[in-house]
């Protein structure tokens, strides 16, 4: 993952790429892995950092979606459960199973949810993560010691998956690169290039770091820009009607003491008809999410006070010690790229299925919707279509069993570096090389200098935000500590990337401004 080398190759290339992908989130990166592993020549442009958009802001669940069962969408649930199993097989360093408990305070809740979750078990079949069962009141308290016990009758436990979304994105970028794809961050597509018949045959892009404009040609152009997909479609057809119904989801991050046990809480029905989770994630607890339709898609969506109050109020119905604003270590928002199939005021009711649209004039392909869990299947379907459009020789998809970069089947033994998988040895070697790099970047963060150096050398990190938000996740663990660590991280990065003190000062200032948006008080 050498950005300069990739850009030089792209500029020097005289023949069209097989596939040009716009957008480096779950959808675009999944396609890059799929296409490159079939042997196609593929290039991907991401306007910011990989997973800077929705793909680093999810609830971090690899799940069938218990809720979609209730909506009667059995095929979507079955497909997602199979993908959940495949992702655990192919990236065991990034995925783990997790017990979820639906607590019951009413007599009917346990039998009602118990039956639904048995169906969920059955649909998972051979991909099952464990069988659901009824738990006594005491067992629920053992699993979730922080639960409100007043009126508690018991609960139902089921199993689903948990993963690190941004780390998976980085590992997909590395997997794609290893199979020959060119994936480049900080390259924004500014226009489509068309032939005399109006058929899309390339893109114009700007290297955000140098301001240089480049024209790149491809046999098929794929728009994988998630919530921004309509903006790209309008570059193609200015009058295109919107297909995206953007919906904002917010999570708050609390100290792990709020969910100290091994199990998560799942609330099947909040007041606004959503599912809410309170999940143990490494050293913190993540609670969310909301579902609020929004008109504009910002690259840094901000949570409203109303959303934060709603999450706290819902969580506090289930927690013995109430969480307050001053307990929030970080708050993050993301925008779901839901596909508009019908007019509906309630975005929670819109389909989580994916859609592939092909413009009849330009032949540009747009791939939208879906969810992280099903990114691989979505990529397979999209590359199959892209091959037809680009008239590429048919090669079968192999990603169902393709190991993702970092694959390691004993990652648990790697302790805090587990999510690096097979790269953990390289990170450790850096710590041994330089005692300063073995130190944590901040007293309240476990991330070390070695991880900053590793991110610059091997993971195409270009800004402090790339390191603190998506390579190390420090911004999500503790926004204040991340803000305080910015200068140290900037200096380590400057040395690796050959930047000066003005760059460090600019970077620190813009990161601190960004981090302020993740703090509540």
Binding site for ligand FAD (CB under 6 A): 22-28, 45-48, 52-55, 57-61, 63, 188-189, 224-228, 249, 289, 334-337, 370-373
Our CB check for ligand FAD shows the closer of 318 and 375 to be 375
- Give the nearest distance from C-beta 209 to ligand FAD in angstroms: 14
Are the beta carbons of 98 and 147 closer than 8 angstroms? no
- Give the nearest distance from C-beta 469 to ligand FAD in angstroms: 12
- Give the nearest distance from C-beta 53 to ligand FAD in angstroms: 3
How many angstroms from the chain centroid is the CA of residue 225? 13
Return the structure tokens found at 100: 């979820």
Of the candidates 94, 22, 33, the one whose C-alpha atom is nearest the C-alpha of residue 58 is 94
- Give the nearest distance from C-beta 83 to ligand FAD in angstroms: 9
- Three-class DSSP category at 380: helix
Residue in this structure with the two tokens 């981090």, named with its chain if needed: 515
Are the beta carbons of 515 and 469 closer than 8 angstroms? no
Our CB check for ligand FAD shows the closer of 67 and 179 to be 67
**Using alpha carbons only, how large is the chain's radius of gyration in Å?**
23
Return the structure tokens found at 90: 């192919």
CA dist 103 and 123 (Å) reads 23
- Give the nearest distance from C-beta 267 to ligand FAD in angstroms: 15
- Give the nearest distance from C-beta 42 to ligand FAD in angstroms: 15
Our CB check for ligand FAD shows the closer of 372 and 437 to be 372
Our CB check for ligand FAD shows the closer of 110 and 463 to be 463
- Give the nearest distance from C-beta 373 to ligand FAD in angstroms: 4
CA dist 57 and 291 (Å) reads 13
User: In this structure, what is the dihedral angle of CA atoms 486, 7, 47, 462, given to the nearest 10 degrees?
Assistant: 0
Our CB check for ligand FAD shows the closer of 103 and 246 to be 246
Secondary-structure percent of the chain, ordered helix, strand, coil, rounded to 5 = 40, 25, 35
- Give the nearest distance from C-beta 228 to ligand FAD in angstroms: 4
Residue 111 φ then ψ, to 5°: -65, -35
DSSP 444-470: TEEEEHHHHHHHHHHS---SHHIIIII
Our CB check for ligand FAD shows the closer of 97 and 109 to be 97
- Give the nearest distance from C-beta 372 to ligand FAD in angstroms: 3
CA dist 417 and 414 (Å) reads 6
CA dist 19 and 21 (Å) reads 6
Of the candidates 124, 145, 133, 76, the one whose C-alpha atom is nearest the C-alpha of residue 102 is 133
Our CB check for ligand FAD shows the closer of 319 and 378 to be 378
Our CB check for ligand FAD shows the closer of 224 and 508 to be 224
Our CB check for ligand FAD shows the closer of 351 and 448 to be 351
Our CB check for ligand FAD shows the closer of 23 and 406 to be 23
Return the structure tokens found at 37: 């592993």
Our CB check for ligand FAD shows the closer of 80 and 515 to be 80
How many angstroms from the chain centroid is the CA of residue 59? 8
CA atoms within 13 A of residue 301's CA, in its CB half-sphere: 29
- Give the nearest distance from C-beta 162 to ligand FAD in angstroms: 9
- Give the nearest distance from C-beta 479 to ligand FAD in angstroms: 17
How many angstroms from the chain centroid is the CA of residue 181? 20
Return the structure tokens found at 104: 């019951």
């Amino acid at each position: 993952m050498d950005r300069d080398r990739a850009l030089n190759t792209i500029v020097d290339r005289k023949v069209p790429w097989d596939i040009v992908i716009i957008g480096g989130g779950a959808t675009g990166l999944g396609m890059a892995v799929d296409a490159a592993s079939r042997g196609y020549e593929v290039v991907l442009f991401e306007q910011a950092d990989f997973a800077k958009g929705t793909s680093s802001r999810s609830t971090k669940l690899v799940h069938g979606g218990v809720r979609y069962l209730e909506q009667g969408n059995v095929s979507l649930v079955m497909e997602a459960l199979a993908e959940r199993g495949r992702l655990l097989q192919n990236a065991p360093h990034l995925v783990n199973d997790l017990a979820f408990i639906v607590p019951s305070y009413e007599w009917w809740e346990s039998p009602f949810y118990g039956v639904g979750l048995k169906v969920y078990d059955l649909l998972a079949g051979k991909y099952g993560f464990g069988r659901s069962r009824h738990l006594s009141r005491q067992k629920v308290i053992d699993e979730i010691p922080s639960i409100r016990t007043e009126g508690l009758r018991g609960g139902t436990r089921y199993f689903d998956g948990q993963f690190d979304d941004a780390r998976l994105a980085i590992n997909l970028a590395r997997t794609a690169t290893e199979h020959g794809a060119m994936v480049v961050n900080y390259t924004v597509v500014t226009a489509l290039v068309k032939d005399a018949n109006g058929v899309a045959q390339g893109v114009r892009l700007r290297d955000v770091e140098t301001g240089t404009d480049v024209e790149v040609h491809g046999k098929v152009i794929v728009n994988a820009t998630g919530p921004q997909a309509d903006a790209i479609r309008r570059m193609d057809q200015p009058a295109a009607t919107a297909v995206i119904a953007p919906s904002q989801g917010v999570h708050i991050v609390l100290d792990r003491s709020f969910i100290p046990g091994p199990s998560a809480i799942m609330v099947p029905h909040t007041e606004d008809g959503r599912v809410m989770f309170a999940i143990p994630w490494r050293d913190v607890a993540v609670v969310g999410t909301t579902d609020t339709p929004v008109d504009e898609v910002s690259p840094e969506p901000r949570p409203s006070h109303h959303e934060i109050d709603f999450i706290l109020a819902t969580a506090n119905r289930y927690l013995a010690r109430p969480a307050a604003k001053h307990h929030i270590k970080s708050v993050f928002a993301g925008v779901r790229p839901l596909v508009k199939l019908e007019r509906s005021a309630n975005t929670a009711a819109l389909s989580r299925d994916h859609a592939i649209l092909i413009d009849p004039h330009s032949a540009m392909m747009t791939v939208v919707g879906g969810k992280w869990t099903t990114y691989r299947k979505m990529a397979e379907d999209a590359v199959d279509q892209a091959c037809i459009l680009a008239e590429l020789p048919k090669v079968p998809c192999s990603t169902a069993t393709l190991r993702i970069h970092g694959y390691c089947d004993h990652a648990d033994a790697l302790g805090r570096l587990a999510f690096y998988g097979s790269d953990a040895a390289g990170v450790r070697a850096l710590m041994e090389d330089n005692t300063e790099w073995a130190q944590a970047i901040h007293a309240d963060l476990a991330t070390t200098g070695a991880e900053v150096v590793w991110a610059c050398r091997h993971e195409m990190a270009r800004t402090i935000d790339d390191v603190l938000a998506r390579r190390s996740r420090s911004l999500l663990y503790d926004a204040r500590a991340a803000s305080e660590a910015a200068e140290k991280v900037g200096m380590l990065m400057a040395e690796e990337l050959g930047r000066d003190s003005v760059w460090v000062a600019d970077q620190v200032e813009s990161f601190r401004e960004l981090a302020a948006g993740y703090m509540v008080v």
